[in-house]
Amino acid sequence: KTQAWLRLLPVVLLSSSEAASDVAASFAPAATGYIVKPGGFDGFRRLAAYLNDCWFGDGDIAAPGADLKPISY
Tell me how far apart the alpha carbons of residues 64 and 4 are, in angstroms, rounded to a whole number.
17
CB distance 14 to 37 below 8 Å = yes
Q: Does residue 69 have a pLDDT over 60?
A: no
Confidence of residue 53 (pLDDT cuts 50, 70, 90): confident
* Least confident segment among 1-5, 13-17, 35-39, 49-53: 1-5
Q: What is the pTM of this model?
A: 0.58
More confident residue, 4 or 60: 4
Alpha carbon 17 to chain centroid, angstroms: 12
Helices (H), 1-73: 20-27, 40-56
Tell me how far apart the alpha carbons of residues 3 and 54 are, in angstroms, rounded to a whole number.
25
Kindly state the percentage of the chain with pLDDT values over 90.
1
